[in-house]
Amino acid sequence: MADLKRGKLYVVTGPSGVGKGTILEKFFNNNKNIYFSVSMTTRCPRPNEKEGVNYFFVSNEEFDRAVKNDELLEWTEYSGNFYGTSKKFVENALLKGVDVLLEIETQGAKKVMEKFPDCITIFFAPPSFEELESRLRGRHTEDENAIQKRLSAVRDELSMAEKFKYNIVNDEVESAYTKLQAVYDFESGGK
């Protein structure tokens, strides 16, 4: 039997509120041969979020246990909550030859690039800081304190944009999605 080809790892990053979730929802509706890596988080679920679909929502103790047991490929504290990627899920899928996509913040993305130098990184940028703030506020999912924390991270996040292979400005959902699809079609060789 021929050796099974390893799957490819895609990492999508960019500041909170830029539209990663919105664009990825379209992407996953149209692409069934790539898995979304569901992260673990200590943040509370938003009204529209589902356990095991958007995140695995866990307590601080459960998160600590996962860190101690070396279950996470990478993890970080972001805006007062913990977030981490399941090592087992990602490694099993890649071994089976299945592509995997992570949607994580920029520090985590950097750590993944160190561990997986061949990963394909995509940074979503907002058209402007003002538009990003207006999207974050318009989502109505965070209180003022959480919005301020997220906005305070934006400058650092934007300064890292050039470290990632592809930069896509999310000015308009349809055109940003089309660009992401073009990246995937190119990198996956149309498979």
CA-nearest of 30, 54, 138, 51 to 103 is: 54
Whichever of 99 and 105 has its CB closer to ligand 5GP, that residue is 105
Q: How many CB atoms neighbour CB 91 within 10 A? A: 15
Whichever of 21 and 187 has its CB closer to ligand 5GP, that residue is 21
Burial of 70 (0-12, 13-18, 19+ CB in 10 A): exposed
Pairing of strands 9-13, 55-57: unpaired
187 SS3 class: helix
Least distance to ligand 5GP from the beta carbon of 44, Å? 10
Pairing of strands 39-41, 81-86: antiparallel
Amino acid 56 reads F
Stretch that binds ligand 5GP, among 72-80, 122-130, 159-167, 176-184 (CB under 6 A): 72-80
103 binds ligand 5GP (CB under 6 A): yes
Interface with ligand 5GP in residues 1-60 (CB under 6 A) = 16, 39, 43
Question: In whole angstroms, what is the distance from residue 74 CA to residue 185 CA?
Answer: 27
138 binds ligand ADP (CB under 6 A): yes
Stretch that binds ligand ADP, among 13-21, 62-70, 85-93, 152-160 (CB under 6 A): 13-21
8 A C-beta contact, residue 109 and residue 73: no
Least distance to ligand ADP from the beta carbon of 58, Å? 20
Question: In whole angstroms, what is the distance from residue 152 CA to residue 120 CA?
Answer: 27
Pick what 170 binds: ligand 5GP, ligand ADP, none; C-beta below 5 to 8 Å, kind-dependent: ligand ADP
Stretch that binds ligand ADP, among 19-27, 40-48, 112-120, 179-187 (CB under 6 A): 19-27
Pick what 22 binds: ligand 5GP, ligand ADP, none; C-beta below 5 to 8 Å, kind-dependent: ligand ADP
- Tell me which residues touch ligand ADP (CB under 6 A): 16-22, 135, 138-139, 170, 172-173
